[in-house]
Chain A
Amino acid sequence: SQQGEEDPQALSIQEGENATMNCSYKTSINNLQWYRQNSGRGLVHLILIRSNEREKHSGRLRVTLDTSKKSSSLLITASRAADTASYFCASYSGAGSYQLTFGKGTKLSVIP
């Protein structure tokens, strides 16, 4: 079953603007992870936030987690054309199940 669900499905912004992507999930999680995928390539791990954390930063990335709403957001600040890619959230589907389950992703286009 699909655990993470990203919103919006597609996002187009100008270079220099900030991009915000949201993710909702259904069951309790140990952690939530964000990945990036360039067209036709493998996924690259960006950042992991644990269930007891509320916010985490890595370079131009900022991730928040609201376990009461079962939602997370990924903010990319000062976007660049090279940030054009699909972004996926992923989480463990439930206690005792060690499966990382992905959503359909948000396709981000950054226009130079």
Chain B
Amino acid sequence: ETGVTQTPRHLVMGMTNKKSLKCEQHLGHNAMYWYKQSAKKPLELMFVYNFKEQTENNSVPSRFSPECPNSSHLFLHLHTLQPEDSALYLCASSSDRQGEGGYTFGSGTRLTVV
């Protein structure tokens, strides 16, 4: 375990479903991130939260909705997804926005949209 826990590990959902991904860290980090990893593509940064405030949204479709209730928890709410949204969703945290000490990643949620 890295200190960043993601649940569930695997998720299969229909295009009309609503589901949520959860990320939790107790490393005392202040910044948290959602990344999407698709086959044969670089990791894509989706959202950045710093001290619970969203600081980056990289033109992510509104069917992805992040929530950060506190510095330890990060959610990604999913609704009316498309099959091309199937990917590995990775959560990461760092001590600060600059990430000088590196990012700590969770093991990811493997999402399949059917």
Contacts and interface: CB of A to CB of B under 8 A. Distances in A.
Contacts of B110: 40
Contacts of B100: 31, 48
A43 interface: yes
Given A41-B107, A42-B108, A98 B42 contact: no
Interface string B84-114: 0000101010000111111111111010000
A98 B101 CA distance: 13
Contacts of B55: 98
Given A30-B98, A40-B110, A44-B2, A100 B41 contact: no
Contact of B43 (A44, A48, A88): A88
A42 B97 contact: no
Contact of A2 (B42, B90, B108): B42
Given A30-B98, A42-B108, A104-B41, A99 B103 contact: no
A98 B98 contact: yes
A28 B77 CA distance: 34
A43 B103 contact: yes
Given A42-B90, A98-B99, A99-B48, A104 B105 contact: no
Interface of A: 2, 4, 30-31, 33, 35, 40-45, 48, 88, 92, 98-105
Given A40-B108, A42-B108, A98-B56, 17 more contacts: A30-B98, A33-B99, A33-B103, A40-B88, A40-B110, A42-B4, A42-B106, A43-B43, A45-B104, A45-B105, A48-B101, A92-B98, A100-B33, A100-B99, A100-B103, A101-B42, A102-B43
